Amino acid sequence: MIYVIATASVKPEKREDFKRGAAACIAATRKEEGCLLYDLHESVSDPTRFVFVEQWTSRDALGAHARSTHLKEWRKIVGECTTAPTEIEVITPANVETL
């Protein structure tokens, strides 16, 4: 199981463009093989901060997502709407039950 947390800082005047582009990307991504969760969240204290939370069955599924056409299109929108590169962290569950 692979999780991805991706945080983006969006230009205030591009907020709605970002959300519209995200909606299209989310719809396409949720249909991908291996996608278990793909949601966008927005900060309650900072209206320019957005966080994607993703869950994938495997690294291979995540890799296929990274090469998808709709993600390439999404990257163009992100480039126009953000103030800095998106921070992306890939994580896996910690096995604390065995401790």
Q: How far, in Å, CA of 46 to CA of 43, rounded?
A: 5
What integer pLDDT is reported at residue 4 of this predicted model? 98
Q: Is residue 98 part of a domain?
A: no
Domain count, the chain: 1
CATH number at residue 83: 3.30.70.100
Q: Is residue 97 part of a domain?
A: no
Residue 87 pLDDT more than 80? yes
Q: Is residue 50 part of a domain?
A: yes
CA 28: distance to chain centroid?
12
Q: How far, in Å, CA of 13 to CA of 80, rounded?
A: 11
**pTM recorded for the entire structure:** 0.89
Where would I find the H helices in the chain? 15-29, 59-66, 69-81
Tens digits of per-residue pLDDT, 12-62?
999 999 999 999 999 999 999 999 999 999 999 999 999 999 999 999 999
How far, CA to CA in Å, does 12 sit from each of 20, 24, 28, 87, 90?
14, 20, 25, 18, 27
